[in-house]
Amino acid sequence: MADGSARANPLDALFRPRSVAVIGASSDPLKIGGLPVSFLKTQGYAGRILPINPKSPEIQGLRAWASLREAPGPVDLAIIAVPAALAEGALEDCAAAGVKGAVMFTSGFAEIDAGGAEVQARMAAAAKAAGVRLLGPNCLGFMNIAERIFATFAPVVNAGVPPLGRIGLVSQSGAFGGFAYSLARGRGLGLSHWITTGNEADLGFAECVEWLAGDPATDVIVGYMEGCRDGARLRRALEACRAAGKPVIVTKVGRSEAGAAAAASHTAALAGEDAVFDGVFRQYGAHRAGSIEECLDIAYAATTAGPPRGRRAGLYTVSGGAGVLMADAASAAGLEVPELTAETQAAVRALVPFAGTRNPLDITGQVIQMEGAFRASLAGMAADGTCDLVVNFLSASGLSPATGPQIAADIAAVRAATPEVPHFLVTLASPEFRAVVEAAGCPIYDDPGRAVRAAAALAGLAEAFARPAPPDPVPGAPGLSVPPDCDEPTALEALAALGLPTAAFRRAATAEEAGEAVAAFGAPCVVKIVSPDLAHKTEVGGVTLNVSGAEAGRAAASAILASAAKAAPGARLRGLMVAPMRRGVAECVIGVQRDPSFGPVVMFGLGGVHVEALRDVTFRAAPFDEAEAMRMIGEVRALRLLTHPRGAPPADLPALARLLAQVSRVAAASPGLDGCDMNPVLALPEGEGAVILDAVLIGG
């Protein structure tokens, strides 16, 4: 129970209240207004409970008051469990009584219709004016397991309370939050807090996560998200967790095609809300899980095993087939499986001559019957120096009453001898076996793939914790003002004026001038139509490559002008542009899009005309530094086209990273920039830089 000391955080009054009033309290412990009273009484809450009900002087054996205004103060938290028609008045009572936090179970607001949304907005404004932090409406409330505060009507509590633990769970969905609660309890996972946010009239997912970042009872945060209205707040919350070394594991649902219809921009077509969330989670070190089961797998590992030093996995197995399965899973999850040292392999063969010793270390099932061999071989792998973590497949050995206790003792001894190397065990286990092994810091899974994925997730989280804090935006970064009806040469000129590397080109008003420009460059050129209305020029025959000489230049320009006029009769044609052909390692795309949640976001991927079909791109919220840009580049599936091109030197990745970071700073400083496509951006060989060949700018 919170003591009388000063509040460390304004939300402590809500989530760690010393007194709780229940407005709409019921004598029936199974009704919405009766459940929180019952839970607070039976689950050991140590603070004052004040039932509010105008029709009864007593509720479930407790003195009741007709209204909150009549109840003795101070009151930290009010639970509002009244019909929608009475909710606004109940919140007014909270304000009059000086309540600092309110949880509103009541539904019938923004989730229903526009009228309900209007009432909800009015309540949120009144709560803000009065200094009342509001959770809900239309939520299941919260539980502070550590301090036995059950401000909820979730019936799952009647089925049992999970053990006290170090996992905080935040869910935008009450029903899904209840489901996750039940899954965690069924798996014996200990929780510190359980919070549902409902309609988020005031408090949202991000602010609850940020509160948990500073909560001493919580080490790991599990989240369920459907959307985000305040991207800046979510970024701040995720960074607070990363800086505190607290893993955030999120299940984010809801696929959006927002922007896909904006055919004028590749970036808009690819920047669906979901892809941007992916990038932001990576940017701030949160792990996006594919299911709530995966969330709990990783949270369990994080609170049991601790973070590994790196991604090198030692795979120990009593089954060759399971070893292959784990090796495949490790590769898919981004773990390395290095060969063990010759000394370790020789030592293992001396113990078990028929073992496969490279890694996976296939020790075979007979090792269990060979006294001392299991502990010695497992200890050898853990101490080998090539392994940052060990995944250990033991089939059903954890169920054996004959050998299970000794195996558990051996695992605990190895874990104690090499605490810097986390172990992830795959076996079917008895409760006694599980207790010994988990106490030693070794999580147990019944599927090798789940164990490997959890280990890989912890490795990724550890990498995020090791990164320095993101730098503050560079003060005075140059902004970009998009000229009206901006065409390609104008866009390139605007980018060049900001110091971005752009290709040389010449404008040509006529076919004759285009021919002269080709001749002046003295090298094969590209000739393009210029129009603010034609973002994709190839679709109207508006581009000709490898043009040499004045005559060929005039002919190409004439054909382009005729083709564009026929294919797009309504387009404004402003002549042509001529640029020397450039060769490099690969064509990339860099884009900027204004996301409704996160504001300006930057995209990177492999470019060219097939960018939308391949969708091999990644995103980050702007601004960011060159280190983050390098991580972006490393995420594209076709990375080998940049690092190992056939018959060519690798691309200048540092130059690409510098360009990405520079674009992100420009994007953050340009409120009038709604979109930007730089496609292609030519990645030149190592040490030679990168150059923007084509650009589209979209103003607000």
Q: 215 pLDDT band (50/70/90 cuts)?
A: very high
Reading the block at residue 697, the tokens are 């700018």
Kindly state the percentage of the chain with pLDDT values over 90: 86
**∠ Cα 502 506 507 (to 5°):** 120
CA distance 62 to 42: 13
What is the spatial distance between Cα 571 and Cα 591, in angstroms, rounded to a whole number? 24
pLDDT of residue 273: 65
| Angstrom distance (rounded) from CA 166 to CA 639 | 38
What is the tally of helices (H) and strands (E) in the chain?
Answer: 23, 29
Q: Would the pLDDT of 82 be above 80? A: yes
Contact 507, 561 (CB under 8 A): no
Q: Enumerate residues 6+ apart whose C-beta is below 8 A from 524.
A: 545, 546, 547, 548, 580, 581
* pLDDT tens string 85-95: 999 999 999 99
| 100, 110 Cβ separation under 8 angstroms | no
What pLDDT, on the 0 to 100 scale, is given for residue 269?
Answer: 46
Strand 695-699 versus strand 673-683 pairing type? antiparallel
652 close to 685: Cβ distance less than 8 angstroms? yes
Per the listing, tokens 């200990």 go with: 190
Residues 272, 316 contacting (CB under 8 angstroms): no
Contact predicate 209/247, CB 8 Å = no
Q: What angle do CA 603, 608, 613 make, to 5 degrees?
A: 75
pLDDT in tens, 382-409: 999 999 999 999 999 999 999 999 999 9
Query: What are the DSSP calls for 167-234, one per residue?
Result: EEEEES-HHHHHHHHHHHHHTT--EEEEEE-TT-SS--HHHHHHHHHT-TT-SEEEEEES--S-HHHH
Q: What is the mean pLDDT of residues 553-563?
A: 97
Q: pLDDT tens across 141-187, in order?
A: 999 999 999 999 999 999 999 999 999 999 999 999 999 999 999 99
Q: Tell me what pLDDT residue 264 has.
A: 38
Average pLDDT over residues 673-681: 93
Residue 267 has pLDDT above 50, yes or no: no
Q: Across residues 116-142, what is the average pLDDT?
A: 97
Grade residue 317 by pLDDT with cuts at 50, 70 and 90: very high
Q: Are the CB atoms for 249 and 287 separated by under 8 Å?
A: yes
The predicted structure's pLDDT at residue 616 = 87
Confidence of residue 474 (pLDDT cuts 50, 70, 90): low
Could you give the domains of the chain? Answer: 7-139 (3.40.50.720), 154-304 (3.40.50.261), 306-466 (3.40.50.261), 504-580 (3.30.1490.20), 586-699 (3.30.470.20)
What integer pLDDT is reported at residue 370 of this predicted model?
82
Residue 434: both structure tokens together = 């599980």
Computed on alpha carbons and rounded to an integer, the radius of gyration of the chain in Å comes to 31
Which whole number is the average pLDDT over 567-595? 94
